[in-house]
A = this chain, B = another copy of it.
């Protein structure tokens, strides 16, 4: 009990997700240090004990530094800890995931950051593939019973666009009427006065935006879509 033990390495890794062309994409950062220098991995970094108040703070700071953006939604995923996940030794990674609308990051791709479809990914350094898969599975399962995908939407959008995003996240198609019934029950959207279409060759759709003062984190957990077959 009184022996001193080597301290584990503590870092924060982030699974940053977006929806692009109907598919979930994750951000990968080019590692500039050992181990795995020159390889693509989940963006991550050490906790700065002098500036970060907590782990979410650290995640936000790291994302801003590595990707130059602020995500509207962060959540702790889980912690991956053990002796063998990092060649430097016993390590702890407090993994987080974040969602960001594709429109908001069209400009952030640069030499040290790239976007790849989550489903086509095979190998990643450390246990980052397991972390990514855990995040994707969490997001998909939350999508079944919450309004999480709203964080992937731009300022205003139509219900059909929202449905496409849900379908993209889930990788399944949903019934239109049932989908609208549930979104309405959530009661987190308001109509935007000006309907929009202008030249689509068909009936224009109502635009919606998030209700002001709605905290989606608490408004979650009442959607109840059924898992796809």
Partner of A5, one of B46, B53, B83, B84: B46
Min CB distance A228 to B, Å, is 16
Partner of A76, one of B48, B49, B79, B90: B79
Q: Which residues of B contact A8 (CB under 8 A)?
A: 10, 47, 49
Once bound together, how far apart are the Cα atoms of A7 and B49, in whole Å?
7
The answer to whether the Cβ of A41 comes within 8 Å of any Cβ in the partner chain is no
Min CB distance A137 to B, Å, is 12
B82 touches A54 (CB 8 A): yes
Partner of A81, one of B6, B55, B78, B89: B55
Within 8 A of B (CB), among A1-45: 5-8, 10
For chain A, the bracket of interface size reads 20 to 34
A5 touches B48 (CB 8 A): yes
B76 touches A94 (CB 8 A): no
Partner of A49, one of B5, B49, B53, B55: B5
B94 touches A82 (CB 8 A): no
- Given A8-B47, A8-B49, A49-B89, A54 and B78 contact (CB-CB distance below 8 Å): no
- A: residues with CB less than 8 A from B are 5-8, 10, 46-50, 52-55, 76, 78-79, 81-84, 89-90, 92, 94
Q: Which 3 A-B pairs have the closest CB atoms?
A: A54-B82, A49-B90, A55-B81
Q: Provide 22 A-B residue pairs closer than 8 Å at the C-beta atoms, listed in order of the A residue.
A: A5-B50, A7-B10, A7-B49, A8-B49, A10-B92, A47-B81, A47-B90, A49-B83, A49-B90, A52-B83, A53-B82, A53-B83, A53-B84, A54-B82, A54-B83, A55-B79, A55-B81, A55-B82, A76-B79, A81-B94, A92-B92, A92-B94
